Every structure is written in C-alpha cells, then in structure tokens.
Structure 1
C-alpha cells in the first residue's frame, strides 16, 4: 500500500494542563466584591497608617517638650483675665516732688518735647478781718515765671503789667505764654502757663513762682498746688506746703536745661518782698519798676 504525501495527518488533541504539584503556590484568591484586594503584609516593613476617624479630621499631634510657645492671639489683645504689659521705665501715675525726692528728668519721665502746661490752683477761702467794720477778702494768687533763653533773652511772664508772653529777642518766637488772670480762685481750671519745648536748646532755665497779689499773706489758707503736664507723660505735682506767713511770693519749681536734658526741680521757697527779691535770690540780674494790673 503506498503513502499519499499530499494529505496531512490529523492534529492530535490539545494536552490537558498538569494538576498542581503538592507544596506549590496556591492559586490567587478570587477578587473581593466591590473593591481591591488588600496588599499582603510585608515582613519587616512599616506598619500601615491608622484608619481615619469617622466624620472628622485627625487630632493635631501633642506639643513637643521644649518646643516653641504657641503664637499670640490675632489683634494683640490680652487674654481674658490678663493685664496689659506695661512699658518699662514709664510710670502710669502722677509724680509728686517732695523734699526727699525734689527733682525729675523730663527725658526719663517720657515728656520732653511738645508744649508743657503749668497749672496753679488754690483755695480762695475768705479771710476774716478783725474790727468793727469787718469784711471778707479773697486771696488772689498770680502764676508767673522768670525766664532765660539761649540767645540771652530774659524777663518775666505775669499778669502784672500785662506781660502775658515771652519771646526770643533774636527771632521773635514766643516760647512762654500765660492764658489769663484768675483774680478770685473760683475758676476750676485755675491759671495756666504754656512752655514750648519743641526745641529744648532754646531754653536755659525757667523759674515758676506764685504771688499773693491781694489778701492776707497766708499760704496755709491758700492751699496752693502747682501741676505740670508734660506731653505724653503723667503729671508732676508740687504742693505749696511748709508755708511761711508774711511772705508774699514763693518760688515753686524751676525748669533747668542740663546739657540738653530738661530737669524739673522743686523749690517751694517763700520770700519776703516780691519779684525783685526772687530775682536777687536766683541771680537773674534784671531791673525792676513798680507796676499794677
């Protein structure tokens, strides 16, 4: 029987896959319904992150020991129940000049500059006079000052003689002015004087005084108080205490330029006489003539 080379032999049936061997890898598990299979845990790897909390953000980590303090509140306001921090070296209450503490520096006090206001207030209680025709008289205190400027100008500011202001001889600039004359003491604001401290170098010294113009020379009855108001600083008080009966003028305080630093010094020096006696006691060297209001 001959072989027909034009015909191909029939293909054998496909071979069946061999059964899994014992000890081999198991087939992969079927996928979970609706999600991805969890990754297998790795040996020696990092632990998986904790599951997120339900319905919120994870809590912030606790502050580290020795770390930085928490930031201040927005707006700079102190916390509830706290007190605002005070600036060092600046007193928030008035300053009273006494025998034991007679002077204060305006620079250190925080008020050197601007316009310095000087106020004199007193009690104008009636003075009883003896005799058949008794009458009540009130004290009339006058606020004034002797001044000396850097250009050599010197003089007096007072209601007497209508000398209500002081100006520099070279420029005509007014540095000191008196606002008026309270003849009764009934004005609640008393008498006020303004001293321009915009340029401290223009002022050498200013001696502030109080004068009893009318009424008995009884300073205890007057109970005078001089208050100095620097710009941006607490007031400075000088009480006219330790009165000396019979004296009609009192040097209350002196403003001195000490190498560019203005110092207010308590005087409270009662003198017999008037402005001439004050001039001689403090060496102003001016000529005086009689005058009236």
Structure 2
C-alpha cells in the first residue's frame, strides 16, 4: 500500500498451493536507482529448509536421537547424487539418472570480469569494451509438446510462469554475477512431459561489446537431484550472445547438453534472433526494452 495515501499500489494473489509448507511470495530489488517489486509465488514442500537451501544457505542436519537402523532395500536402480561437471568430451547428462526428474530446477549463471575497462582496450589483438555497469541477461527459448514456442527473458518483461505454461520462470535481473545470486531461471520439472526442448542462453544487454573478458559458470540444481555445472570456454570472437545449455525431452527423460557456444550476430540482427536462427526455433521478433 502507498504509505501516504493508504491505497493499494500493487496486488498479487498467490493461488494453486497444494502440499507447500513455505512460500516466496515476492521480492524487492533495486535496478537503475529505482526500487521494484516482483511477484514470485514459488512454493516449497520441504519447508523453510528447502527455501533456505535454494538460496545457497547451508542448513545443519538435526541431531539424531533415535537408534540407527539399516536402510530399506532399494526398489529402483540407485541414482548418483554427486555433482556432475559437463565438458567438451562429456557434454550431456540424464536428469533422471541423477535423481532430478521432479520438483523445481534452478539454473544459475554467475560470472567474473577478468579485467575492467573504462573505454576501449585490446586483448590478444581484439578490440573489446568493458564497463563496471555490466548487465548480462539469462534467457530461455522453449518449445512445448503442444507446439507452443516462446522466450523467457527480462526484455519485454517476459518473466514466464512456474505453475502454468511455459513452466519456466526468470527470477530477476542481476548485475553482480555473484555465485549466491547471479541470474537465475527456475524450471518446473513436474511438467517435464510438457517440454519438447529448452535452450538456455545469455545475452549482453549493456556494459560490454563481447564476452571476451568474462569468466562464467552455469549450474543446474534440481530440487531432488545432483547439481550439474560447467564453465564457459574463453570467448575468441566478438560475441554478444552465448548458447549455454540445451534441455531435450527424450520421451521419458530430460537430457541436458552443454552448448557453451558463442554466436556473432550479423549487423542489424538482434542476439535473440541470432540464437533463434542457429537453433531453428522459427519465431517472429519485435523490438523490446527493459
């Protein structure tokens, strides 16, 4: 509510809860000197512990007072819960085999600037520009099994939705690149059968001419499975858009493939249209802004 007038400034009705015992209702964040509020509506059936863990907070295990007993015999093949790092030689992983076939999966991008520039500089003969106010945007192209296609991105306020199509939600627009925050997408794996493919990519919105002097890491953290991460290769081309990971529905599983592919848009072609053309999404694009 507006403190001076007492009237309602914004309203968000969070509906559809079932077994959740903790909720992130909304969040305040500061962007370009202005405070903004975003409705979230993210629920957790694991309570406050699940919410805290999702935001990088380590929760101590409770003291065990009951006597130990042998675990029950497994009724299904065991899954690996150790972290998986994707590489060029081993670029793909099955989410089901890692135990991550349900719940919410957070996709995090964090980065570090190798060098700071206030103007033009050079790196191995390449001209680059880097500014302190660097703004990278994590995005996702999606194609659902019913044929619907679209994009989730901060540009145009296309933040998506977690509990209705496209079942992908962009959490925010970060400028720090810190590991604890960075840019985050959340994918609702409970609707994995509705996905045909998801392409996660990142664009430079402002503050740099290319990825040449950035070091970035991508982490996919399923709610119930092992984390999957990989680092991006060093950029050697004047790229403003990088395809990060392709998630494909194989019928009864989702497979994550490391792309780490830097793309160079042609003159007058947007980064979004460029990644669309390379991966054959076939969408129509119009100019937009944040």
TM-score bin, normalised by smaller chain: 0.5 to 0.7
Partner in structure 2 of residue 198 of structure 1:
190
Measured after TM superposition, the shift of residue 218 of structure 1 is: 3.8
Partner in structure 2 of residue 224 of structure 1:
216
Other structure's SS at 1:123 match: strand
Q: Does 1:100 align with 2:89?
A: yes
CA distance in 2, matches of 1:279, 1:174: 17
Describe the shift of the 1:137–1:75 C-alpha distance in structure 2 as closer, same or farther (beyond 3 A): closer
Partner in structure 2 of residue 271 of structure 1:
263
| Structure with the higher fraction of residues in strand conformation | 2
- Structure 2 unaligned segments of length 5 or more: list them: 1-66, 122-128, 266-270
Between 120-129 and 255-264, report the one with greater CA deviation.
120-129
Measured after TM superposition, the shift of residue 199 of structure 1 is: 2.7
Other structure's SS at 1:269 match: strand
Partner in structure 2 of residue 76 of structure 1:
69
For the aligned residue pairs, the C-alpha RMSD in angstroms reads 2.8
Describe the shift of the 1:234–1:186 C-alpha distance in structure 2 as closer, same or farther (beyond 3 A): closer
Partner in structure 2 of residue 69 of structure 1:
none
Query: Is the CA contact (8 Å cut-off) linking 1:144 and 1:208 kept in structure 2?
Result: yes
Matching residue within 99, 105, 127 for 2:117:
127
Partner in structure 1 of residue 12 of structure 2:
none
Larger radius of gyration: 1
Partner in structure 2 of residue 234 of structure 1:
226
Q: Deviations over 1:46-99 (max 9, x none)?
A: xxxxxxxxxxxxxxxxxxxxxxxxxxxx62279xxxxxxxx9753343111111
TM score, norm. by length of structure 1: 0.64
Measured after TM superposition, the shift of residue 242 of structure 1 is: 3.4
Other structure's SS at 2:117 match: coil
4+ runs deviating over 6 angstroms:
none
Measured after TM superposition, the shift of residue 202 of structure 1 is: 0.6
Matching residue within 277, 287, 290 for 1:290:
287
Query: Is the CA contact (8 Å cut-off) linking 1:178 and 1:194 kept in structure 2?
Result: yes
CA distance in 1, matches of 2:191, 2:289: 33
Between the two proteins, the alignment pairs up a number of residues equal to 208
Measured after TM superposition, the shift of residue 180 of structure 1 is: 0.8
TM score, norm. by length of structure 2: 0.65
CA distance in 1, matches of 2:198, 2:131: 35
Query: Is the CA contact (8 Å cut-off) linking 1:127 and 1:138 kept in structure 2?
Result: no
Other structure's SS at 1:161 match: helix
CA distance in 1, matches of 2:161, 2:149: 8
Q: Deviations over 1:194-234 (max 9, x none)?
A: 11111321111000001111122342422111100012222
- Structure 1 unaligned segments of length 5 or more: list them: 1-73, 79-86
CA distance in 2, matches of 1:136, 1:247: 16
